């Protein structure tokens, strides 16, 4: 590691100042406010608040609805992360291999990167519209009555599909650049030792992709938990009712629609702790297990 030591004492602090002030104003201060309000029961019309201690948290823990949403968020995150990574990896491996039309495929597969989540959600909704959607027609051929916004798991499936669709290009780009950095000589040596393409993939390419894969795993988990708000909002038409939701949407719903600022803050604190845990896991893993060459 480079250690060019400058004797200036105040310069590094000046350099850090912009970043630190941004973080304090836009993260630590709101975070502190969230923790503080999570101990209060706010009047919905803004006339003061009452200290209730941990009551908001206890309410969450005992709320069947909240636990159901947490469960759905878990399933949603696992499924979206798995499929968007798997599809992207499959496509990246193939796109890395073919010679003819390789750049055309790459361009086509990256295109959706530019689609905004709410637009993706709207498209998903139009595809699965109860009476006009092409997907609904496909299900009808198989004799299944596909009813988005009415049936819990039908709505969940289109949310998952859209979220995966939206995330594949990002993963594809990263996997492709990861694959291109796997050295050709290693691959050719493996080609001599192991004639099976699948065997070569699992023993050579996959471990060498581990740093990229791990980074993507973390970003995909945060994506499915936090950045799918627009997708859920458009698919449920901002009126979720008994449709599946993620925890972030629930925070918004309780805080801004229900005016329950205390409960909403308690939920954001729970999410904050979750993210913090994820960050620590990421850091530990980066330090120990995954070796970047």
Residues 163-192 contacting another protein, CB under 8 A: 165, 168-169
Q: How far is CA 111 from CA 35, 87, 170, 236, in A?
A: 40, 15, 10, 25
Identify which range of 18-26, 47-55, 250-258, 261-269 contacts another protein by CB under 8 A.
18-26
Residues 6+ apart with CB under 8 A from 139: 145, 146
Q: Helix or strand or coil: residue 49?
A: strand
According to CB under 8 A, which one of 58, 86, 108, 186 is a site residue for another protein? 108
Residues 6+ apart with CB under 8 A from 121: 162, 230, 231, 232, 233, 234, 235
Residue 98 is a binding residue for another protein (CB under 8 A): yes
Counts of helices then strands in the chain (DSSP H, E)? 15, 2
H-type alpha helices, the chain: 11-23, 29-37, 55-62, 64-97, 102-110, 117-127, 134-141, 152-180, 184-193, 197-200, 206-208, 210-226, 229-235, 247-252, 261-288
CB 102 within 8 A of CB 95: yes
Nearest CB to another protein, comparing residues 75 and 116: 116
According to CB under 8 A, which one of 35, 70, 115, 274 is a site residue for another protein? 115
Residue 132 is a binding residue for another protein (CB under 8 A): yes
C-alpha to C-alpha distance for 238 and 55, rounded to whole angstroms? 28
Counted residue by residue, the chain has a size of 293
According to CB under 8 A, which one of 36, 94, 257, 289 is a site residue for another protein? 94
Nearest CB to another protein, comparing residues 67 and 108: 108
Residue 198 is a binding residue for another protein (CB under 8 A): no
Residue 91 is a binding residue for another protein (CB under 8 A): yes
Residue 112 is a binding residue for another protein (CB under 8 A): yes
Give the CA angle between residues 246, 251, 257 to the nearest 5°.
Answer: 115
Residues 22-41 contacting another protein, CB under 8 A: 22-23, 27
What's the gap between Cα 55 and its chain centre? 30
**Shortest spacing between CB 91 and another protein, in angstroms:** 4
Residue 197 is a binding residue for another protein (CB under 8 A): yes
**Shortest spacing between CB 48 and another protein, in angstroms:** 31
Q: Helix or strand or coil: residue 289?
A: coil
C-alpha to C-alpha distance for 279 and 16, rounded to whole angstroms? 21
**Shortest spacing between CB 227 and another protein, in angstroms:** 15
Q: Helix or strand or coil: residue 181?
A: coil
Residue 101 is a binding residue for another protein (CB under 8 A): yes
Residue 206 is a binding residue for another protein (CB under 8 A): no
User: Binding string to another protein for residues 210 to 249, with x set by CB under 8 A, is what?
Assistant: ----------------------------------------
**Shortest spacing between CB 257 and another protein, in angstroms:** 24
Q: Which chain residues interact with another protein by CB under 8 A?
A: 2-6, 8-9, 11-13, 15-16, 18-20, 22-23, 27, 87, 90-91, 94-95, 97-101, 105, 108-109, 111-112, 115, 119-120, 123-124, 126-127, 129, 131-134, 165, 168-169, 197, 276, 279, 283
């Amino acid at each position: 590691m480079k250690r060019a030591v400058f004797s200036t004492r105040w310069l590094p602090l000046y350099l850090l100042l912009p970043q630190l002030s941004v973080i304090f104003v836009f993260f630590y201060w709101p975070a502190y406010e969230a923790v503080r309000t999570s101990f209060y029961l706010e009047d919905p019309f803004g006339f003061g608040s009452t200290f209730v201690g941990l009551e908001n948290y206890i309410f969450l823990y005992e709320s069947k609805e909240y636990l159901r949403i947490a469960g759905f968020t878990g399933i949603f995150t696992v499924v979206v992360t798995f499929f968007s990574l798997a599809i992207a990896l499959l496509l990246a491996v193939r796109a890395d291999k073919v010679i003819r039309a390789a750049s055309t495929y790459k361009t086509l597969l990256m295109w959706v990167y530019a689609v905004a989540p709410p637009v993706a959600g709207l498209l998903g909704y139009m595809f699965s519209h109860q009476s006009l959607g092409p997907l609904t027609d496909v299900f009808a051929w198989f004799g299944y009555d596909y009813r988005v916004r009415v049936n819990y798991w039908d709505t969940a499936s289109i949310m998952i599909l859209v979220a995966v669709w939206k995330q594949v290009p990002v993963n594809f780009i990263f996997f492709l650049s990861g694959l291109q950095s796997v050295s050709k000589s290693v691959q050719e040596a493996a080609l001599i030792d192991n004639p099976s393409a699948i065997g070569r993939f699992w023993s050579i390419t996959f471990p060498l992709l581990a740093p990229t894969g791990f980074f993507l795993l973390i970003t995909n988990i945060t994506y499915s938990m936090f950045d799918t708000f627009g997708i859920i909002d458009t698919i449920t038409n901002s009126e979720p009712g008994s449709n599946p939701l993620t925890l972030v949407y629930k925070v918004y719903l309780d805080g801004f629609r229900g005016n329950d600022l205390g409960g909403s803050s308690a939920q954001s604190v729970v999410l904050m702790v979750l993210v913090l845990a994820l960050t620590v896991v990421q850091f530990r893993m980066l330090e120990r297990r995954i070796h970047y060459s």
